[in-house]
Amino acid sequence: GDSVTQMEGPVTLSEEACLTINCTYTATGYPSLFWYVQYPGEGLQLLLKATKADDKGSNKGFEATYRKETTSFHLEKGSVQVSDSAVYFCALSLSTGNQFYFGTGTSLTVIP
């Protein structure tokens, strides 16, 4: 079935370090892919998205490229800040369905 597999955490980085959070997917059709972020005590909010192969989503210094050949959508940031500490969720949706599929989330803590 359709699913998202996400790199397990927790991840702890020093400020200004590089970040990569891996996400791979399984889908029967042509999904749209998303990264959501959840700050402590809050709901999820969209960070970025890509709707077709080779698209790159970007926002707040984060980037992710939709790679159909490797069925991946890894989240990257070149220099993390303390304010990036949050839980990050990879997700997909299909044009043929009514549901979103979320990964299990990766907790990121950035220390000064």
**What is the nearest approach in angstroms of another protein to the Cβ of residue 105?**
5
Could you tell me if 95 and 29 are in contact, meaning their C-beta atoms sit under 8 angstroms apart? yes
Q: Which is nearer to another protein, 20 or 96 (CB)?
A: 96
In which region does residue 60 sit, left (phi positive, over 0), alpha (psi from -120 to 50) or beta (all else)? left
**What is the nearest approach in angstroms of another protein to the Cβ of residue 42?**
6
Q: Which is nearer to another protein, 17 or 44 (CB)?
A: 44
| CA–CA gap between residue 61 and residue 79 (Å, rounded) | 8
Q: Which of 95, 102, 92 is nearest to 29 (CA)?
A: 95
Q: Which is nearer to another protein, 35 or 78 (CB)?
A: 35
| CA–CA gap between residue 38 and residue 52 (Å, rounded) | 24
**What is the nearest approach in angstroms of another protein to the Cβ of residue 90?**
10
**What is the nearest approach in angstroms of another protein to the Cβ of residue 9?**
9
Biggest CA-to-CA distance, the chain? 45
Residues in contact with another protein by CB under 8 A are 6, 32, 34, 42-46, 49, 51, 89, 93-95, 97-100, 102-105
